[in-house]
Amino acid sequence: MAARLFISRLRNHKDSYGNYEQTGRILLVEDDPKDVELTLTALEEYNLVNEVIVARDGEEALDYLYCRGEYKSRSSDNPAVMLLDLKLPKVDGWKC
């Protein structure tokens, strides 16, 4: 089983009317831990407040997107953005 890493950076913030809103999730599909850390650091430096879900291979990403396996009980709304490495173990990014 591939290593999984979940990093929650979800924060509520106020919109232009002063109401709290939630932002969409980002699915980061990356097998290199250094690239994961680099991406998360860059997102944080730009003050993005989105929740970031990290999948370590293409199979895990597909399980997440289709609510299969370990992700069977997650909410069915899909991420707003997916950052996808193309060279991945198990199922590569071209097949995701």
User: What is the reported pLDDT for 66?
Assistant: 93
Domain boundaries along the sequence of the chain: 5-84
How far apart CA 59 and CA 53 sit, in angstroms, is 14
- Distance from the first to the final alpha carbon of the chain: 18
pLDDT digits (tens, 9 = 90+) for 22-45: 668 899 999 899 999 999 999 888
User: 5-84 sits in which CATH class?
Assistant: alpha beta
Q: Which residue has the tokens 């089983």?
A: 1
For the residues 13-27, what does the mean pLDDT come to? 65
Whether 12 has a pLDDT exceeding 80, the answer reads no
The SS3 assignment for 60 reads: helix
Write the DSSP symbol of residue 89.
Answer: S
